[in-house]
A and B are shown apart, each in its own frame.
Chain A
Amino acid sequence: MPADILLAASGIRKHFGGLAALSDVSISVRRGEIFGLIGPNGAGKTTLFNVLTGLAAPDAGSLVFDGRRIEGLKPHAVAAHGIARTFQNIRLFGSMTALENVMVGRHLRSHTGVLGAVLRTRAAVAEELAITRRARELLDYCGLAERADDFARDLPYGDQRRLEIARALATDPKLLALDEPAAGMNATETAALKALLERIRQDGITLLLIEHDMKLVMGLSHSVAVLDYGEKIAEGEPETVQRDPRVIEAYLGGGFA
């Protein structure tokens, strides 16, 4: 496998009863790019995300991430390898503040156990301070500095989406997988999101993006893969994919042809 491939999924199959949610899907995401995953509703995009992040085990196929096999690992182990994700239907820790949500994201990269917490050892105190500092930085990075002490549940929709990104970034991911980050956002919020995603990429994090906003996904992505009925029907540069007749038929509809 070439060294510039960060994630290679090959022959991924996932069936739910008689329904083939994914059949023989293969994608490869290059290091440092923004990879768009598109397709009509029910095409299997979120299922592929779930397989990638350990929330669902594939029936067949292999996943190689950063040179290591990760298929079938538990979600927390996948996160430890460096894949972080957001959810299509936002899943924040509602009873925690924005800051605490991001602090939870640091769990993976910190070590204080029961003894350290109870005895409040010097190392534990220092680590807690570092966690808080890093979480504040990330809130600031995602434009949520003012919201640090608000409860996640009380935040407006767009802020909740960005908080999910901040929380995911706190795990120090190599790959950030975003499931419809712009869903429900207005034009201004989408523009801000686009700038944020660009910045994240420039800071060296590879992005995998499920998105229905065509302008956003085509404008951002370096490569795009199209899923339809659990099969990959096209992969390549956005311009090429957009002209692919199968894609136009399956996804964009007759009006674009």
Chain B
Amino acid sequence: MNIAALFSDRRYRWFAWGAVALLLLALPFITEAVLGRSWVRIIAVSLLFVMLALGLNIVVGFAGLLDLGYIAFFAVGAYSYALLASPQFAVHWPFLLLLPLGAAIAAVFGILLGAPTLRLRGDYLAIVTLGFGEIIRVFLNNLNRPVNITNGPQGITLIDPLQMGGFSLAQTHSFAGLTFSPVHNYYFVFLVCAALTVALSLRLQNSRIGRAWVAIRDDELAASAMGINTRNVKLLAFAMGATFGGVAGGLFASFQGFISPESFQLIDSIMVLCMVVLGGMGNVAGVALGAVLLTALPEALRYIGPLQQRWFGGVLVDPADLRMLLFGLALVLMMLLRPEGLWPARRRQAVKRNTDAG
């Protein structure tokens, strides 16, 4: 009986995973047919944010280190790729080299941020990381004089797409009767990368390293007394989180073909943090869900302009203002109704339950 139950469970699991995979493979085509190509781009970008949010989740969700400058690592990855695969320096390195390189450079920056902040926690750490994020952005903005490195506020254009041999993701391909536009191509690359990120996060979480992260989050002093080298484990969290951000940045640069410091502002750091908190800090699936929802929601709210036109015969409130207002309202409501996130970590739920009871 027991074996039979296990067997059916396993079969069910295969079926469920197969269905999810099929859905994800078909998603860009369904989306294009129903909502148009702009939405294919949005879901592709949302996968980049899944990678970013999962990277930040290692720092904030697992290790409990509040980081308000996380977008800096995204910027470092993006600029590493852009500078070495664009006419800026007239070098065009292959992406297979540049993505790991960007990840490594971002990891170094993660350690650069982590090392001086080891003694800080909570609010104080948040302020320093916020400053760090701004420093990176200001540097990128001003490194065009006296030697032009980043091209300043104009940003870097004509960044190479992901390409290998004669095959470029920036071209439209046809395969098995389906049309793969560049956005479709990138969607599938991002899907693979996001799936890898999810797998890495889950494996790290259920490992000796993941337990050490949660231990220093719960009680740093006790963790050190139990033999955890808190310095190394924290630096590792910063470096791992930055690595995810660096890869996502490289992919972003190749996808957009253009980057400028404007893409890496404080609001973007906060947005990624919102994805982590709102999805369910520390829970990999929840954070991924948060990333997708928070990428899609502001885009969906763009329809407010045309809706006003249709209902009231004119635009009464500036759609851009109303969009952010409604977005903020949605965030507040979700935090009020589900303070531990949409899909909370098992551990957080327990803590919540306990503090409610006590």
| Interface residues of A, Cβ cutoff 8 Å to B | 53-55, 74-76, 79-80, 84-85, 87, 91-96, 100, 103-108, 110, 112-114, 116-118, 120, 124, 127-128, 131, 151, 153-154, 167-168, 170-171
Q: Please state if B350 and A95 are interface contacts (CB–CB under 8 Å).
A: yes
B207 engages A112 (CB within 8 Å): yes
Flag B214-241 by CB within 8 Å of A: 1 or 0 each.
1101110111111111100000100010
Neighbour of B354 across the interface among A75, A93, A114, A151, CB < 8 A: A151
Among the interface residues A103, A113, A118, A128, which one has the most CB atoms of the partner chain B within 10 A? Answer: A118
Contact between A76 and B354, CB atoms less than 8 A apart: no
| Distance between Cα atoms of A131 and B209 in the complex (Å) | 13
Identify which of B204, B221, B227 contacts A79 (C-beta below 8 A).
B227
Determine whether the beta carbon of A112 is less than 8 Å from that of B214.
no
Q: Which residues of the other chain, B, contact A92 by a CB distance below 8 angstroms?
A: 218-219, 222
Supply 10 further A-B pairs (C-beta < 8 A) apart from A104-B228, A107-B226, A131-B208: A55-B221, A76-B224, A80-B227, A94-B219, A94-B354, A95-B218, A100-B214, A104-B211, A113-B209, A117-B204
Task: Give Cα distance in the complex from A91 to B204, angstroms.
Answer: 24
Please, how many angstroms separate the alpha-carbon atoms of A255 and B217 in the complex?
A: 47
* Contact indicator B351/A114 (Cβ below 8 Å): no
> A76-B229, A120-B203 are contacts. A114–B236 as well, Cβ < 8 Å?
yes
Assembled-state Cα–Cα distance A196/B185 (Å):
63
Inter-chain CA distance A117–B209, complex, in Å, is 8
What CA separation (Å) do A124 and B206 show in the bound complex? 11
Residue of B nearest to A150 (CB): B350
Determine whether B335 belongs to the interface, using a CB cutoff of 8 Å to chain A. no
A-side contacts of B229, CB under 8 Å: 74, 76
Query: Which residues of the partner chain A approach B204 to less than 8 Å between Cβ atoms?
Result: 114, 117-118
> Could you tell me the distance between the alpha carbons of A120 and B215 in the complex, rounded to whole angstroms?
21
Q: Given A92-B222, A94-B218, A94-B351, decide whether A117 and B212 contact each other with a Cβ distance below 8 A.
A: no
Q: B338 within 8 Å of A by Cβ? A: no
Query: Hey, which chain A residues are within 8 Å of B215, CB to CB?
Result: 93, 96, 104, 107
Q: How far is the CB of A177 from chain B (nearest CB, A)?
A: 10
Q: List 18 A-B contacts (CB under 8 A).
A: A54-B224, A74-B224, A76-B225, A79-B227, A92-B219, A93-B218, A94-B354, A95-B217, A95-B350, A96-B218, A105-B227, A108-B226, A117-B203, A124-B207, A153-B354, A167-B226, A168-B226, A171-B226
The 4 A-B pairs at the shortest CB distance, nearest first, are namely A108-B227, A117-B207, A79-B227, A95-B347
The reply to whether the CB of B155 lies closer than 8 angstroms to some CB of chain A is no
Q: Which of B200, B226, B230 contacts A104 (CB 8 A)?
A: B226
Cross-chain contact B203 with A118 (CB below 8 angstroms):
yes
Partner of B226, one of A55, A74, A79, A153: A79
Contact B351 A107 (CB under 8 A): no
A79 and B225 contact, CB distance less than 8 A? yes
Interface pair A93/B214, CB less than 8 Å apart = yes
- Complex CA–CA separation, A131 to B207 (angstroms): 10
CB distance from A49 to the nearest CB of B (A): 10
Interface of B is mostly: helix
Per the CB 8 Å criterion, the residue count for chain B at the interface is 31
**Residue among A79, A127, A170 with max Cβ neighbours from chain B (10 Å):** A79
Q: What is the CA–CA distance of A93 and B351 in the complex, to the nearest angstrom?
A: 11
Contact of B200 among A55, A94, A100, A118 (CB under 8 A): A118
Nearest A residue to B354, CB-CB: A153
Contact partners of A55 in chain B: CB under 8 A? 221, 224-225
B210 at interface by CB-CB < 8 Å? yes
- Residues of B in contact with A (beta carbons under 8 Å apart): 200, 203-204, 207-212, 214-215, 217-219, 221-230, 236, 240, 347-348, 350-351, 354
Minimum CB–CB distance from B340 to chain A (whole Å) comes to 12
Q: What residues on A are CB-neighbors of B347 within 8 Å?
A: 95-96, 151
A105 nearest in chain B by CB position:
B226
Q: A75-B225, A153-B351 are in contact. Are A114 and B240 (CB under 8 A)?
A: yes
Q: Which chain B residues border A93 with CB–CB below 8 Å?
A: 214-215, 218-219, 222-223
**Inside 8 A of B208's CB, which chain A residues have their CB?**
106-107, 110, 112, 117, 127-128, 131
Chain A nearest CB, measured from B199 CB (Å): 8
A84 touches B226 (CB 8 A): yes
A170–B207 Cα distance when bound, in Å, is 17
- B350-A151 in contact (CB<8A): yes
Contacts of B211 in A (CB 8 A): 96, 100, 103-104, 107
Q: How far is the CB of A147 from chain B (nearest CB, A)?
A: 14
Expressed in whole angstroms, the minimum distance between the Cβ of A183 and any Cβ of chain B is: 17
Contacts of A85 in B (CB 8 A): 225
Q: Complex formed: what's the CA distance from A100 to B200 in Å?
A: 20
**Min CB–CB distance A91 → chain B (angstroms):** 4
Contacts of B348 in A (CB 8 A): 95
* A52 to B218 CA separation, bound complex (whole angstroms): 23
Q: Which residues of B contact A94 (CB under 8 A)?
A: 218-219, 351, 354
Q: In the complex the two chains form, is A91's CB within 8 Å of B230's CB?
A: no
Q: Cβ of B219 and Cβ of A91 under 8 Å apart?
A: yes
Query: Taking CB as reference atom, which chain B residue is nearest A83?
Result: B225
- B142 → A minimal CB distance (Å): 35
Q: Which residue of B lies closest to A171 (CB)?
A: B227
Question: Once bound together, how far apart are the Cα atoms of A103 and B214, in whole Å?
Answer: 12
The docked-state distance in angstroms from the alpha carbon of A100 to that of B215 is 9
Q: Which residue on chain B has the smallest CB distance to residue A101?
A: B215
Given contacts A128-B208, A151-B350, contact A91 B203 (CB under 8 A): no
Q: Which residue of B lies closest to A119 (CB)?
A: B203
